[in-house]
Structure 1
């Protein structure tokens, strides 16, 4: 009998075909994170929730002609932060990375942003320089473990916002990856959700809405919403989003990558309560480098694997975050 492949934890930077980099401004509590595919990667996207801020997602529709993209930029700064993707494109062009259009190469860069303007500084947002910085960090250094927590696009991320800024907790950026035989799949998640983040197995809260401004007790936000009934109000309207990027060495078409993104959205429902609200702009990208070769990977298995690693990344984003600007973090509850 053939031995079954083992589901093993691996560092995300060991997945062939991808490089990763951050630009972080802790004083302003914002930043950006770049996932670069120097040789290009097929890609898909799934957008849910009611308030997305994104760039070039229409290119990923299966009927459109661009077959590969070169980077995904995850950023703070709300819609202002989309400017960071221009810095990513500028740096990639300078390095000869992009779609060959004759006189030059045009890097195809998709981007999504979180709203962090109400945390830290509202006037400082990631822009062209930060996009260049994160891209340079991704491409110039030898591949190394990716920093997590209050870093990059997760610098200003927060969660648990039903009762406003006084009772929220710190979110952050998480990165996790797994291997099943030669197949590798990883996820980066920037967790800036309206809801609470919970362990998907036990339901134990990791970070979320606190009982009071001077309390570290996390209360069930869904119960609080139901109790409020028709009096429910959202003081931080349209200020929440969890944005993620899944990377794999498998070969996928755009349509297949889109399906994996749709399946992986289950990870949000498993770990964020509530999720996909009208105040969230949840987005998931899937990038496939094809470094594994022409092997056909069962798409449903890949979707389940993507869901699992994204669950781990979401939880890690909160568990590894450091509290800043008065917002406590998971570490403060457990130190």
Structure 2
């Protein structure tokens, strides 16, 4: 298995990604726009999710495909971003046809970034609807990671979080890719070290190439969280796992479930009562390949590994900004001996 040409979600043909952010606010929005409606599902394993239009993604419900997926900061206020994305898609004639009307189907999930040092005095209405519109308008094959979009104000235990992405091409040519905004309660490293928990899955030094520690730190089993380190509150890691394979809604939900293993391999602890950890799955079907049960094992394993890589990349790529309450990975570990 190898990364795709851009090592990003847009290696899955039929998908574009757009970011919009407000650096004074220290918050933003990331949008995945589907060229054509894509089969979608969702799996929520965190205890504190914030969502819009996720019920329709259940396999037994009518609508089978979506036009876009939104990942946003802002806690519940950030759910307004989906309205902005809908507005942009409606302008272009996208949406589920009902009589003479078209209704863009845009599920969304949010993370909590209200206490990260940004100015949240936005007046009567929060800015997320406009940020959603701008992110959808900016959707392209290339996009920024780290302190961008939904990851611009994200934090983890002891470090800034960020927006991460990664891709994998299987031996038969099928592509699977992840996009994630990392704002976890837990830690992404071994104790107070620069080594990432996701190290076993790293490709081509994509998040520093440190590998695993030469000897396992004695504090590797210590539970390090935002709560234990008295850091700013708020949490949740939200993500998209996507493939160009042909999947049903039920198969897409199984893919989302498997991708949660990537959370557990890259963040510890994950799926806590304080996190709203959630993964959307998208299947564009552009490869034309359907999967038998035995093939699906490889696809699900790759989903887990690719998600773990994307999480580490998001934290590794974060950049410092005025008013930050936590350091970036490079600020804390970039010049440290290992």
Q: Fold-level match, TM-score > 0.5?
A: yes
TM-score (norm 2): 0.83
- Secondary structure of the equivalent of 2:237? strand
Label 1:39 to 1:224 Cα distance change in 2 as closer, same or farther (>3 A).
closer
Match of 2:51 among 54, 57, 67: 54
User: Does structure 1 residue 174 correspond to structure 2 residue 164?
Assistant: yes
Q: Which is worse superposed, 241-250 or 295-304?
A: 295-304
Label 1:135 to 1:314 Cα distance change in 2 as closer, same or farther (>3 A).
same
Report matched runs for 1:220-231 at 5 Å. 223-224=222-223
Does structure 2 conserve the Cα–Cα contact (< 8 Å) formed by 1:159 and 1:192?
yes
Q: Which is worse superposed, 104-113 or 288-297?
A: 288-297
- Alpha-carbon distance between aligned partners in 2 of 1:225 and 1:292, rounded to the nearest angstrom: 42
Query: Could you report, residue by residue, the CA deviation over 1:202-248 in whole angstroms, capped at 9, with x for unpaired residues?
Result: 69xx9xxxxxxxxxxx995862569xxxxx87967971100000111
Q: CA RMSD in A?
A: 2.5
Post-superposition shift, 1:102?
Answer: 1.8
User: Does structure 1 residue 195 correspond to structure 2 residue 186?
Assistant: yes
- Alpha-carbon distance between aligned partners in 2 of 1:41 and 1:219, rounded to the nearest angstrom: 46
* Aligned twin of 2:213: none
- Alpha-carbon distance between aligned partners in 2 of 1:79 and 1:234, rounded to the nearest angstrom: 25
User: Does structure 1 residue 285 correspond to structure 2 residue 284?
Assistant: no
TM-score (norm 1): 0.84
User: Does structure 1 residue 28 correspond to structure 2 residue 18?
Assistant: no
Does structure 2 conserve the Cα–Cα contact (< 8 Å) formed by 1:240 and 1:279?
yes
- Alpha-carbon distance between aligned partners in 2 of 1:27 and 1:221, rounded to the nearest angstrom: 36
- Alpha-carbon distance between aligned partners in 2 of 1:235 and 1:51, rounded to the nearest angstrom: 19
* Aligned twin of 1:329: 328
Label 1:92 to 1:225 Cα distance change in 2 as closer, same or farther (>3 A).
closer
- Alpha-carbon distance between aligned partners in 1 of 2:133 and 2:182, rounded to the nearest angstrom: 23
* Unmatched segments (≥5 aa) in structure 2: 190-195, 202-206, 208-216
Report matched runs for 1:73-152 at 5 Å. 73-119=70-116, 120-124=118-122, 125-138=126-139, 143-152=140-149
User: Does structure 1 residue 69 correspond to structure 2 residue 66?
Assistant: yes
Does structure 2 conserve the Cα–Cα contact (< 8 Å) formed by 1:221 and 1:273?
no
* Unmatched segments (≥5 aa) in structure 1: 1-5, 161-167, 207-217, 227-231
Post-superposition shift, 1:316?
Answer: 0.3
- Alpha-carbon distance between aligned partners in 1 of 2:230 and 2:220, rounded to the nearest angstrom: 14
